[in-house]
Structure 1
Amino acid sequence: MSSTLIPFVQSGSYPRRPGNLVRPLVDGTPAFRRICEAIEEARLSIWVTVTFLWSTFEMPDGRGSLFDVLDRAAARGIDTRLIFWRPDEETEGLRQNAFWGSTAQIGLLDKRRSGVQIRWDRAHPGFCQHQKCWLIDAGDENETAFVGGINLNPHSMVAPGHKGEGHNHDVFVELAGPSAVDVQHNFVQRWNEASERMAKDGCWGAGSTTSLRFPTRVPAERGSAVVQIQRTIHEGRYVNGQATPEGMSFDIASGERSIFHQYCAAIKAARRSIYIENQYVEVPEIVDCLRRALERGVDVILLMPANPDVSLQVPPARRAFLDARTELGSYPNFLLAGIAGVGADGHRKPIYVHSKLMLVDDEWATVGSCNLHHFSLFGNGEINAAFSEPDTVRAFRCELFREHLDQDTFGLDDLSAFHLFRKIASANRKKFEAGDDAWQGLAFELDVAAYLG
C-alpha cells in the first residue's frame, strides 16, 4: 500500500480504498481504444454516464458510432445501460451536442432497434450532469471502471502528435479493484433516481423502467494504489443515501462537495510541486490555496487552453478575481502554459486543454470530469478519482510531460522536471512571438496578466 502526506477527504459518499490498479489514459484515441477493448471483453454489463454526444463522433479503429459499439455488445446478451443528461430550459443551448431524447433521437433508436437501455437525468436548474464514466461487468470479480473528462466528441479523437487547431487534449483513468464498486454505486444511485424516469419520454429500451440493486460486495485487490471516488452532487438531486459496501451512509439529499474539499486539502498539503491541467480556474478559494502554496515555495504549473473560453464570466466578482489570479504570476515558482500543435498549414495552432487533473509532489493525483469553476465544484453532477501511488503518479507525470515537451523526464524528479518544463515553455513562447514554428514539444508560456479564461 502506498503512503502519502496528501490527505483524502473525510466527508463524502465513498471511503478511501487500498489495493487498486490505476492506469491513466492520455487523450481520446488511446482512451477510447482501451474502453472499446474492455467493452468487447465484457461478460455481464456495460454501464455508461454521458454528458455530450456529437452526432459525428466515432470510436477509433473503424468501430463506428457509440451505438454501433454498444449495440454489438447488447446483441451478445450484455446488459447495456446509459444515463444521458437532459438539459433544462436554462441550459437548452447545449442540446445541440447532447443526446437528450428528442423525437429525432428516439426515432434513431427505434430505427436501429437498439438493444441498449436508457434513462435521462436532468441536473439542478442551470447546471449540468457532467459525469463521464464507464463501468464494465459491474459486480463481477473483473469489474473495471473508467473515470475522466473526455466527451464523445470528434475533436477528442486525434493523435497528440498531429493535433492542431480545433482539437482537444484530455484524460481518463482506468480503475480495477475495490474502488470500482463506488463507480457502480454512483451509477445505481443515479439510475434509480434519474429525474425523468417517470416521464413518458424519460426511459427507452426493454428493461429501462426497472431499478437496479445497490452493490453488496467489494472487488478483490488488484494493485497497490489507494483510491477515493469523489463527487459534486447538488442538494435535492437524490435521496437514497444507502451506504456503499464497507462504507457509511451519506446524506446525499443535502448534496456532496468532496471534489472541492479534496482540491483545497491537497493544495494545502503540497510540499514540493503542483501540476494542474484544467479548462478553468474560476474559484477564489482555489486561487487562494495556490497563492499560499507558492508562498511556501511549492512549484506550480497550470496548463490551460491558450485560447480561453470566457463564457463563464461573473461580472460582479470578475475584476477582483482576475486581480487575485494575476498575482500568481508574480511568483517565480509559478507558470501558466498552453499547448499548440502544428496545423495543416504548417503553423502552430492552439490545442484545447479539456483535461481536469492535478498531480501533487509526484505521489498523489486526481482525474475526472470536474472543472475548477463554480458550476463544477458547487452545482453540476461530477465524478473524480483521487489516487495515491508514487510510481503510478510519477509515470503519469512523465507521460504528460513527454507529450507536452517532447522529452523524457523519467530520470528527473518532480522539481527538476518542472524546471525543464518552465525552460522549454519560455523558449517556445519567444519563438511563438517571433513567428517561429520550430518548437520543442507543444507547451508554451502564457501571459498571466493578459489571460482572461
Structure 2
Amino acid sequence: MTTILREGETCWRIRQADRASVIVDADSFFRHGRSAMLKARRSIFMIGWDFDTRIDLVPGKSNDGAPEKLGKFLNWLAKRQPELDIRILKWDIGLLNSITRGETPFYILSWMFSRQVHLKLDGAHPPMSAHHMKLLVVDDSVAFCGGIDMTVGRWDTREHLDDDNRRRSPMGFSQGPWHDATTCISGPAAAALGGLARARWERATGEKLEACETHADPWPGELDVDFHNIDIGIARTLPEFKEQEQVGEIKAAKFAIIRAARRHLYIESQYFASRPIAEAIAARLQEVDGPEIVVINPEGAEGWLEAKAMDTARIRLMKLVREADLRKRFRILYPVNDKGTPIYVHAKIMIADDSILKLGSANLNNRSMGYDSECDVIIEADEGRNDVREAIARHRNSLLAEHLGCQTSDVADLLEETGSMIETIQQLTRVERRCLREIPDRELTPDEEVIAESDFADPERPVAVAKRVYSYGRKRQYRHG
C-alpha cells in the first residue's frame, strides 16, 4: 500500500495519536469540548475564525454547576483554577462580526487586559485573508481540530430538527439547521497541534510560549474512541506574509486523496469552487475504472457576495465535471431535513474508500488552498489495520445515514450489496423524509459570468505570490516555447 502522507509535502507533521475520534455536529463538539476544558490544569488554547461569548455550549443540559455560556464558563474556569492559562486567538477582521451582531464588549475588553484569560486579535495575514483554522487544545494532551467555530449559528444536533428552540441566536432569532464536524485527538499528535497553536500565537503577538507539561488526561469522559494508536497527518495552508513562506500541504493532500481513491470518494464541503480540484475529479471520472465521487454541499452559499462568487463558480465547475462524467459516476447533492428545509453544510471532509479520512477547516475553494490559514488532520489505514478501515467506513456510512434519515446499518448493507454509493443513495432516498437532493444546473447570467471563479472573491494566493508564479510561467513559456 502506498501512503499519501509525506512530511513537507502532503502534511507538516506525522505524529501518533493514542486516541482519536470524529465528532459530528456542534451539539457534540460543544459538549465534549466543554468537558475537556473542565479537566484542564495548565493550558487552554482556542484558535479560530470567530468566537461568541454569549453562546450556550450545552443548552439546557448543564448539571455540573459550571456556566453554560462560553464567556462566563471561561471566567469560571479561571477563577476555579488559578494556575490555568487560557489563550484565545481570533481573526482580527472577525471582530467586525462581533460588533455588528451585538456581542457585548465586556469580555473582549476585559480579556485583553486579563492575567489569566488572554484574548488577542490576529492580524498577521495578507489583506482580506482569513485565519480560518479551528483549534481547541487542552494541556497539550487533547486537541480538537476541524471545521466548527464556537460562535452563533453553529449549534445543532444530528437530527437537524425544524424550528429547534435550542438553535436560537443570543438575540432570540431562529436559526436554520447546520451540519458540521471536527475531531478529538490525544497523545503526541495533540501536542503537535498545541505547538501549531503556540506558533500562531507568537506570529500574531510576538510572544513566545513554552510547551505545557502536565500528567492530566482531559479526554472527554463520554466520548467514544474511534481509533487507537494511529499516526495522524497534520496538514496546513498558510499564505505568504512577511517572514512566513507559502505553505500548501492541504492542497497537495487533496490531490493525493483524489488520486488514491479506487472505488468511492465521499466529500463534504461548504463550497465546490476550485477549478484545479474540479479538473482532478473530472480526470478520475474519465478513467474506465475510476471511482464514484459524491460531493455534499449546502443548497447555496450564505451572503450575497459568497452566493455570487461561490455558487456561480460551482455552476461552471459542475458543468466541467458532468461533461467528463460519461459513465455517470458523479453526484453533487445537498441535504434537507424532514420538513424539506435545506441543512447548511459547513463540514470539510474527504473519505477515500475505507482507507483515508481527511477532516479539518479547509473547503474545496481556492482560498483554502493558498490564501487563508487552515489546518486539517488526515488518518490513513496502514496495511493490516482492519480496525482503522472499519472505523473510516463506519463514519462515511454514518454521515450518509444522517443525510438520508436512516440507520448506518442500512447504508452499510446496501453499499455491500450494490457496491455503489450512488445506487445506495438513490435506493434510500425518500422525498417524504430527510434526504439528499441534486443541486440543479442552470445557465449563468452575463454578470455572473464575470464573477464566476473571480480571483478577487476567491484568490488562491496573495497577490505578490500570484504575480511571481505568473511571471515564472511566462519566462518558462518563452524559454521552452
Indicate the percent of aligned positions where both proteins have the same amino acid.
Answer: 21
Letter in structure 1 aligned against 2:373? G
Residue 119 of structure 1 aligns to a residue in which SS? Answer: strand
Residue of 423, 426, 431 corresponding to 2:426? 423
Question: Structure 1's 6 and 299: CA in aligned 2 closer, same or farther, altered over 3 A?
Answer: farther
Letter in structure 2 aligned against 1:396? H
Residue 262 of structure 1 aligns to a residue in which SS? Answer: helix
**Contact persistence 2:285–2:325 (CA under 8 A):** no
Partner of 2:437: 444
**Contact persistence 1:9–1:261 (CA under 8 A):** no
**Contact persistence 1:341–1:348 (CA under 8 A):** yes
Compute the displacement of 1:99 (Å): 11
Instruction: Tell me, in whole angstroms, the C-alpha distance in 1 between the residues paired with 2:250 and 2:396.
Output: 21
**Contact persistence 1:267–1:290 (CA under 8 A):** yes
Q: How does 1:8-407 map to 2 (within 5 A)?
A: 8-11=5-8, 14-54=12-52, 56-60=54-58, 61-62=61-62, 63-75=67-79, 76-77=81-82, 78-87=84-93, 94=97, 96=99, 106-107=108-109, 109=111, 115-122=116-123, 123-138=125-140, 143-164=141-162, 166-194=176-204, 197=205, 210-213=207-210, 223-236=228-241, 239=243, 253-296=244-287, 297-309=290-302, 311-312=305-306, 313=308, 318=313, 321=317, 323-327=319-323, 331-342=327-338, 347-388=339-380, 389-405=388-404, 406-407=406-407
**Contact persistence 1:71–1:114 (CA under 8 A):** no
Compute the displacement of 1:301 (Å): 0.7
Deviations 1:27-50 (A, max 9, x none): 000111111111111222111102
Instruction: Tell me, in whole angstroms, the C-alpha distance in 1 between the residues paired with 2:234 and 2:100.
Output: 27
TM-score (norm 1): 0.78
Instruction: Tell me, in whole angstroms, the C-alpha distance in 2 between the residues paired with 1:178 and 1:424.
Output: 43
Compute the displacement of 1:260 (Å): 0.6
**Contact persistence 2:146–2:183 (CA under 8 A):** yes
Letter in structure 1 aligned against 2:202? N
Question: Structure 1's 258 and 117: CA in aligned 2 closer, same or farther, altered over 3 A?
Answer: same
Compute the displacement of 1:421 (Å): 3.8
TM-score (norm 2): 0.74
Residue 359 of structure 1 aligns to a residue in which SS? Answer: strand
Letter in structure 2 aligned against 1:334? F
Task: Name stretches of at least 5 consecutive residues in structure 2 with no aligned partner.
Answer: 163-174, 218-226, 381-387, 453-481
**Contact persistence 2:111–2:119 (CA under 8 A):** no
Instruction: Tell me, in whole angstroms, the C-alpha distance in 2 between the residues paired with 1:402 and 1:103.
Output: 42
Letter in structure 2 aligned against 1:121? D
**Contact persistence 1:369–1:384 (CA under 8 A):** yes
Partner of 2:4: 7
Calculate the aligned-residue CA RMSD, in Å: 3.4
Residue 35 of structure 1 aligns to a residue in which SS? Answer: helix
**Contact persistence 1:52–1:97 (CA under 8 A):** no
Residue 156 of structure 1 aligns to a residue in which SS? Answer: coil
Instruction: Tell me, in whole angstroms, the C-alpha distance in 1 between the residues paired with 2:249 and 2:272.
Output: 17
Instruction: Tell me, in whole angstroms, the C-alpha distance in 2 between the residues paired with 1:38 and 1:372.
Output: 30
**Contact persistence 1:326–1:449 (CA under 8 A):** no
Residue 223 of structure 1 aligns to a residue in which SS? Answer: strand
**Contact persistence 2:17–2:228 (CA under 8 A):** yes
Instruction: Tell me, in whole angstroms, the C-alpha distance in 1 between the residues paired with 2:188 and 2:414.
Output: 32
Compute the displacement of 1:191 (Å): 0.8
Compute the displacement of 1:151 (Å): 1.8
Deviations 1:13-37 (A, max 9, x none): 7232345422000000011111111
Residue 387 of structure 1 aligns to a residue in which SS? Answer: strand
Name the stretch that deviates more: 54-63 or 350-359. Answer: 54-63
Task: Name stretches of at least 5 consecutive residues in structure 1 with no aligned partner.
Answer: 199-209, 240-252, 432-437
Letter in structure 2 aligned against 1:423? Q
Compute the displacement of 1:399 (Å): 2.1
Letter in structure 1 aligned against 2:305? S
Instruction: Tell me, in whole angstroms, the C-alpha distance in 2 between the residues paired with 1:278 and 1:182.
Output: 25
Letter in structure 2 aligned against 1:66? L
**Contact persistence 1:99–1:105 (CA under 8 A):** no
